[in-house]
Amino acid sequence: MANTGVLTSQAQDFPGWYQDVLAKAELADNGPVRGTMVIRPYGYAIWERMQAELDSRIKAAGVANAYFPLLIPESYLQREAVHVEGFSPELAVVTHGGGKQLEEPVVVRPTSETIIHSFFAKWIQSYRDLPMLLNQWCNVVRWEMRPRLFLRTTEFLWQEGHTAHATESDARQFALHVLHEIYEDFMLNVLAIPVLTGSKTESERFPGAITTWTCEAMMRDGKALQMCTSHELGQNFARAFDITYLSRSGTVEHVWQTSWGAATRLVGALVMAHGDDAGLRLPPKLAPVQIVVLLVRDKDGAGETARNLVAELRDKGLRVELDARTDTSFGRRVVDWELKGVPLRIEVGPRDLKARTVVLCRRDTTTKTSVPLGEVSARVDESLAAAQGALLEEATEFLRRRTVEVDGLADAERAAHDGFAVVRASVLEDGGEAKLNEAGVSVRCLQGPEEGLAPSNDGVNNELVAVVGRAY
């Protein structure tokens, strides 16, 4: 059933549509302090699924979870000059506690490099302690002047990984492993969102890093969203915090480090990359509820059949919910589940049961199919796999269609109104990047042939190129 009039149209007002979806799909609400966010149960269930998928990949890479304090001595941040300068405008600083002024102000963590590295210096003694691979799931605070739910909030949830290695090569390889084998794999195979990977320009680099790698995605309005980052920190923090180890040859060396993170902004990305004018469209691998069995009317055995279907599908390990609210209109319930983006809906009613069938509805395509009762289990498996693949294929085609190769700054600026422009990185020299920024366009990443852009006939991709666009 069409969700007519429920949401603002994407084509007419994409930001308004986004806010409508967050509210009506019950994902989040604004907190009482400007820039803060209340994540509602359904939104948090989506985040929990993201956590589970990412956490399994992080642990498979040999990384252990830990937890470090929320409050960080201000002096810790000041030990790495570029780092503190980069975060100073965003810091929330506590000056009083217990009714008294603190001897030293403490910072509510904007990221945990400084406090984690102070413990790395304590825990790392020799090459036998390396690599040290840690991750934490936590909240961070960065004072946000232009908040938008999930995308930019003063407080948000994330995971942040921090590692120490014996060599520069080891650190670089691990940062790239995180980028591709953890993040990119998760984006493609779970979120069904294609991403472009590459490095940030010097002006966009993480404060204190020597290289920042990024995954950039395109939303359905053509704008870019930075999905996650993985940083090579070199030895900048190791020198600032004196993190050394005794090498196999008996010399004292500074470690080489990485840090990397992904946040609740991924929930916003999911909304904007797949949603339509009826609401969310969730990929089955991520959806908190993969299937809703909707009882049309509870008569002639329909209720028992619906309950049996739920039990059968749950026994297969699927995430299934029964909607037996027959006191609420059928149309209203359909609209509600479409808003929430549940991938499959099975409608069970007395009329269909007379023919021993049920109706199977795919959210991604809105197609409805009459399915014999005995074939429901197999058809559900097929439909879930098809929906997962179809969402990725649709988003990939959208990214391809909205990405164009151009020759210069003026063409890049024009192309960025509708999507991404790929231009030779050399055009950014002599203030080219600043000119783009003045026009509201930014360099999303720099790519070489190894970052996945196939060579084109004119050779534009045989050298370093810049992907530019308008970003959230």
| Cα gap 113→14, rounded to integer Å | 36
- CA-closest candidate to residue 342, choices 261, 288, 306, 395: 288
Residue 164 main-chain phi, psi, to 5 deg? -130, 135
The pLDDT value given to residue 2: 41
User: Which residue has tokens 């940083």?
Assistant: 231
Beta bridge partners, 361, equal 345, 368
Helices 41-60 and 265-274: crossing angle in degrees, nearest 10, is: 110
Domain 403-469 adopts which CATH fold? Translation Initiation Factor IF3 (3.30.110)
Please enumerate in sequence order all residues whose Cβ is within 8 A of that of 427, keeping only pairs 6 or more positions apart, or say none.
Answer: 408, 409, 412, 466
242 φ/ψ sector (left φ>0, alpha ψ -120 to 50, else beta): left
Using only C-alpha atoms, the chain has a radius of gyration, in whole angstroms, of: 25
Pairing state between β 291-295 and 320-323 = parallel
For 156-213, give the secondary structure using H, E and C.
Answer: EEEEEEEEEECCHHHHHHHHHHHHHHHHHHHHHHHHCCCCEEEECCHHHCCCCCCEEE
Q: Kindly list the distances between the CA atom of residue 343 and the CA atoms of 8, 270, 287, 296, 326, in Å, as whole numbers in the listed order.
A: 22, 14, 7, 18, 21
Domain 14-274 adopts which CATH fold? BirA Bifunctional Protein; domain 2 (3.30.930)
Whether 380 and 315 have beta carbons less than 8 Å apart is answered as no
Hey, CA dihedral for 118, 124, 129, 130, is it positive or negative?
positive
The pLDDT value given to residue 80: 77
Domain 291-384 adopts which CATH fold? Rossmann fold (3.40.50)
At 462, the pLDDT band (50, 70, 90 cuts) reads low
Render pLDDT for 432-457 as a digit per residue (tens, 0 to 9): 999 999 999 999 999 986 554 433 33
* Residue 85 reports pLDDT greater than 90: no
Spell 180-201 as b/e; 16+ CB within 10 A means b.
bebbbebbbebbbbbbbbbbbb
User: Which residue has tokens 């395509």?
Assistant: 365
- Strand, helix or coil at 253? strand
Beta bridge partners, 134, equal 64, 162
Q: How many residues does the chain have?
A: 472
Render pLDDT for 377-394 as a digit per residue (tens, 0 to 9): 999 999 999 999 999 999
- CA-closest candidate to residue 312, choices 210, 403, 221, 381: 381
Tell me, what amino acid is at 158?
Answer: W
Q: Enter the tokens of residue 208.
A: 């204190």
Whether 313 and 343 have beta carbons less than 8 Å apart is answered as no
| Cα gap 48→59, rounded to integer Å | 16
The pLDDT value given to residue 450: 58
E strands within 79-171? 92-97, 100-108, 132-141, 155-165
At 78, the pLDDT band (50, 70, 90 cuts) reads confident
- Domain residue extents for the chain: 14-274, 291-384, 403-469
The pLDDT value given to residue 6: 67
| Cα gap 171→160, rounded to integer Å | 16
- Strand, helix or coil at 249? coil
Beta bridge partners, 135, equal 65, 161
Render pLDDT for 204-239 as a digit per residue (tens, 0 to 9): 999 999 999 999 999 999 999 999 999 999 999 999
Render pLDDT for 235-258 as a digit per residue (tens, 0 to 9): 999 999 999 999 999 999 999 999
| Cα gap 142→340, rounded to integer Å | 30
Give CA 348 to chain center in angstroms. Answer: 35
Render pLDDT for 339-389 as a digit per residue (tens, 0 to 9): 999 999 999 999 999 999 999 999 999 999 999 999 999 999 999 999 999
> For the chain, how long is the longest CA-to-CA vector?
82
* Residue 458 reports pLDDT greater than 70: no
| Cα gap 40→15, rounded to integer Å | 20
Q: Enter the tokens of residue 433.
A: 């990047």
Helices 376-401 and 302-315: crossing angle in degrees, nearest 10, is: 70
| Cα gap 236→352, rounded to integer Å | 68
Render pLDDT for 14-49 as a digit per residue (tens, 0 to 9): 999 999 999 999 999 999 999 999 999 999 999 999
DSSP-assigned letters across all residues of 285-316: TT-S-SEEEEES-S-TTHHHHHHHHHHHHHHT
Q: Enter the tokens of residue 25.
A: 């799909």
- CA-closest candidate to residue 416, choices 395, 398, 401, 402: 402
**Count of other CB atoms within 10 angstroms of residue 178:** 28
| Cα gap 357→352, rounded to integer Å | 5
